[in-house]
Structure 1
Amino acid sequence: MTHPETAVLAAQEPAAPVTPVAPRPRTFWSKLGQSFSMFRNGKSIAGLIILGFFVLIALLSDLIAPYGPLDKDFTALKQPPSAAHWLGTTHMGEDVLSQIIYGTRGVLVVGFAAGIIATLIAVVVGVTAGYISGWKSEGLSAITNVFLVLPGLPLIIIVASQYQNPSLLLISGVLAITGWAWGGRVLRAQTMSLRNRDFVQAARANGEPLYRIITVEMLPNLTAIIASSFVGTVTAAVLGLTTLAFIGVIPITNLNWGTILFWAQQNGAFPDFWWWYVPAGLCIALLGMALSLINFGIDEYVNPRLRSAGERARAMRKKGIKMSSSVTAVRTQDPGEEPAPPAGN
């Protein structure tokens, strides 16, 4: 049995102070993983599925193509789709499906190579121009503005026409040089808003080197914008490649969807022989739609207003409320239920 005085003394003793647990510091990989959470929404997932389908076709083209891209069957000239040729044949008896499968590789190689090169240039120029100040920043900004107003398609035609058989890497480099400026300008503006943040100032006060401030402190916060710039550059490169091939600037040895459209137009396939040009046009449209969906998902993640609006829309759809409905649902009262009290009481 506890003595009363002991109980009183125990009650008067102050409680032991609770030591607060410091939150775990966010590492570089945790910041990077949180940045790539932009690919978790429905638009980005749908775009990634379509893009992954084309990537698989490009990687496995030698295995899944029924014929070689230039194999000729002179007994089936301009034939519609059949069991032997699922998407028909060309004027030389070449299988259209095989040409589309092999052409996917060239389109993706040029698109992703141009996107990587242009994104690297945009990151280096844009982040550097946004972090430093003075005449160096203004000089890099002036270079960005020059490339921003540079007419891309005429320059690409002039450069590509100087070579007898330009390689895919050369075409990618020309497309990247004419397509990096917009991403560089956006990154410069975002970097200028980040360089005065508290965590950047603290890193600078601790004597962190410049490369670590940019790579560890700033780049994880720019991942979404960099990804959006990359996707936009890939889309522009794919459209630029198919345009150059369609107008005949790129040689026929660089097989892609644009060269299929070029030969279809040169040999009078429009509009009767639809199987020659419609599949290639649909592939261009599907790839553009996939990249646009990915870009829309990234935009929704980057823009807080779009992100909150998307979250509200998804929550309302789960409750069965249509966003297009202009009438608010009113809850009816049961006959035996007491009326709710006024809001002021």
Structure 2
Amino acid sequence: MTSLLVQPTAATPAPATTSRRGRGGALASLLRNRKATVGLAIFLVFCVLAAVPQLFTSVRDPNALSFVPSQQPSGAHWLGTTALGQDIWAQLVYGARQSLVIALVAGLCATVLSVLIGVSAAYLGGVADEALSMLTNVFLVIPTFPLIIVLATYAGKGTLLVVLIVLVVTGWSYGANQLRAQALSMRNRDFLESARVRGERRSYIIVFEVLPTMTSLILANFLGAALYSVLTAAGLQFLGLGDPNSISWGTMLYWSQSQQALQTGMPLWAIAPGACVALLGVSFALMNYAFDEISNPALRPVRRNRARRTHS
């Protein structure tokens, strides 16, 4: 009898150990993933550029017309100067801040809106689900880029706030549709039924029961929204729908195109900001792919080591 009573108490710490191992395994798999490592490294480089641009250039005002126009790359000006006498490298470094702000703020706001509409529609059901789903489908059907141009034009071009609002309004619908489908598949799970039986409020169930199980999908939607924001904001600013006096990679593309940089022998004025936009987009895409592989084992690539072990 004593041995039977002792065995259950000795076995109780097992769930805590298992959960710790699960968390450690997820973190270790994230650190071992090459896509996540490369994407995170590129993102951190741009974060450092945006946080402390003074460490990478001695120019304090990148818009100042302080140098000889149309200089070729040299030790004093790594990427040369623009046709207006501005240092291209300084503009590139200072432009990282606004581009990152647009990506993170617009991506975060669009993700929050997607979560609110998608998860609420799936859990509430009935008339609320029909109304929110119809709103989501309307934004999914409307051609996105023409809508962006119309909103940016009539909302008053030239401000960063307008660009952020336009990106959030046009970037939430796809994520909301995905989150609604995922939440519908979980609506009748046992742990949600037990929460309803306990008398928990709907808001508590959505925040503390539903959302934690959708963390990987929410994170993937954030990375996708950030990628969409980076590319779309650069396109808007390239078309002249942003503030032409602001410092960002999109406005650099706008001025290089308007001053015919490629035709006048200043290709780095256009290539450098375009490459930075592409690299930042690649970093978000790589991190997105990495989280997909970590959350879904079927997407992970087969290692060659396994094949070698089988042959040996």
Asked whether the two chains share a fold, i.e. TM above 0.5, the reply is yes
- What secondary structure does 1:90 align onto? coil
| 1:254 shift after superposition | 2.5
1:257-304 residue CA offsets vs partner (Å, 9 max, x unmatched) = 111111111112115322211111111111111011001011112323
More moved, 212-221 vs 56-65: 56-65
Question: Is residue 159–residue 242 contact of structure 2 (8 Å, CA) maintained in 1?
Answer: no
Give the greater-gyration-radius structure (CA).
1
* CA separation of 1:162 and 1:173: change in aligned 2, threshold 3 A: same
Q: Are residues 1:99 and 2:91 paired?
A: yes
Q: Is the 8 A contact 1:130 1:191 kept in 2?
A: yes
CA distance in 2, matches of 1:320, 1:54: 39
The letter for the 2-side match of 1:237 is S
Report if aligned partners of 2:159, 2:243 keep a CA contact under 8 Å in 1: no
Q: Which residue of 2 aligns with 1:295?
A: 288
Matches within 5 A, 1:28-107: 37=27, 39-40=30-31, 41-67=33-59, 68-74=61-67, 76-107=68-99
Q: Per-residue deviation at 1:46?
A: 1.6
Per-residue deviation at 1:70?
A: 1.2
Are 1:250 and 2:242 an aligned pair? yes
**Cα root mean square deviation, aligned:** 2.6
Aligned-partner Cα distance in 1 for 2:99–2:76: 26
* Correspondences of 1:1-345 after superposition (within 5 Å): 16-17=3-4, 18-20=6-8, 21-22=11-12, 37=27, 39-40=30-31, 41-67=33-59, 68-74=61-67, 76-162=68-154, 166-271=158-263, 272-307=265-300, 310=301, 313-314=302-303, 316-317=304-305
Q: Distance in 2 between matches of 1:202 and 1:108?
A: 42
Cα separation, partners in 2 of 1:95 and 1:320, compared to 1, 3 Å: farther
Q: Partner of 1:8 in structure 2?
A: none
How far the C-alpha of 1:107 sits from its partner, in A, is 0.7
Q: Distance in 1 between matches of 2:147 and 2:271?
A: 29
Percent of paired sites with the same residue = 39
- Structure with more of its chain in helix, by fraction: 2
Residues 117 and 176 in structure 1, CA contact (< 8 A), matched pair in contact too: yes
Q: Distance in 1 between matches of 2:56 and 2:114?
A: 37
Decide whether aligned partners of structure 1 residues 294 and 265 sit closer, same or farther in structure 2, where only a CA change above 3 A counts: same
TM-score by length of 2: 0.88
The number of residues matched between the two structures is 303
Distance between the aligned counterparts of 1:160 and 1:175, measured in 2? 9
CA 159–306 in structure 1, closer or farther in 2 if over 3 Å, else same: same
Query: Does structure 2 conserve the Cα–Cα contact (< 8 Å) formed by 1:36 and 1:223?
Result: no
Deviations 1:153-179 (A, max 9, x none): 222222222355543222111101101
Please state whether the residue corresponding to 1:178 is helix, strand or coil. helix
Structure 1 window deviating more from structure 2 (230-239 vs 168-177): it is: 168-177
Q: After TM superposition, give the deviation of residue 129 of structure 1 in Å.
A: 0.9
Gaps of 5+ in 1: 1-13, 322-327, 332-345
Question: Structure 1's 320 and 233: CA in aligned 2 closer, same or farther, altered over 3 A?
Answer: same
